[in-house]
């Protein structure tokens, strides 16, 4: 299991009421993952029902800046 996936599932387990998007955002906040990794795993870990398709690019842009905080 990849590092980002392992951290995501740990956060998901600790916060069962959070959406997959919130778990993913917390995952990249607590670890410094590269842009390519974030983009790739976003599609694999975040449920498409957690965001509007037309907002996907904006969400990814936000997540890429969010990781810097």
- For the segment 26-44, what is each residue's pLDDT rounded down to a tens digit? 999 988 889 999 999 999 9
Residue 5 to residue 41: CA distance in whole angstroms: 8
Domain that holds residue 35: 3-66
Domains contained in the chain, number: 1
pLDDT (0 to 100) of residue 67: 59
Among 54, 55, 2, CA closest to 27? 2
pTM: 0.88
């Amino acid at each position: 299991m990849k590092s980002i996936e392992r951290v995501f599932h740990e956060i998901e387990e600790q916060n069962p009421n959070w959406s997959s998007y919130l778990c993913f955002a917390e995952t990249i906040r607590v670890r410094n993952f590269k842009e390519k990794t974030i983009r790739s795993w976003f599609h694999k870990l975040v449920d498409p029902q957690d965001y509007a398709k037309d907002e996907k690019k904006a969400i990814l842009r936000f997540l890429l800046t969010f990781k810097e905080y």
